[in-house]
Amino acid sequence: MTTRRPLVRAAIWTAVLAALVGVFMLYLRPDLVFALATQVWNCF
């Protein structure tokens, strides 16, 4: 039972890091950043 907890923590950290890398990779696309900025600006 004690060996399972570090595996779960490692899996969670891996998923979090993968999500962060994915988000940061999307911001490298200028068209996406422009589209998001336009959508935010349209809210006001």
Residue pLDDT, tens place only, 1-44? 556 788 999 999 999 999 999 999 988 898 988 998 999 999 88
The residue type of 17 is: L
Cα angle, residue 29 at apex, residues 25 and 33 outer, rounded to 5°: 105
Domain boundaries, the chain: 4-42
Query: Are 27 and 33 a contacting pair, CB within 8 Å?
Result: yes
- The model's pTM: 0.61
The tokens describing 22, both together, are: 């994915």
Tokens 């595996």 correspond to 7
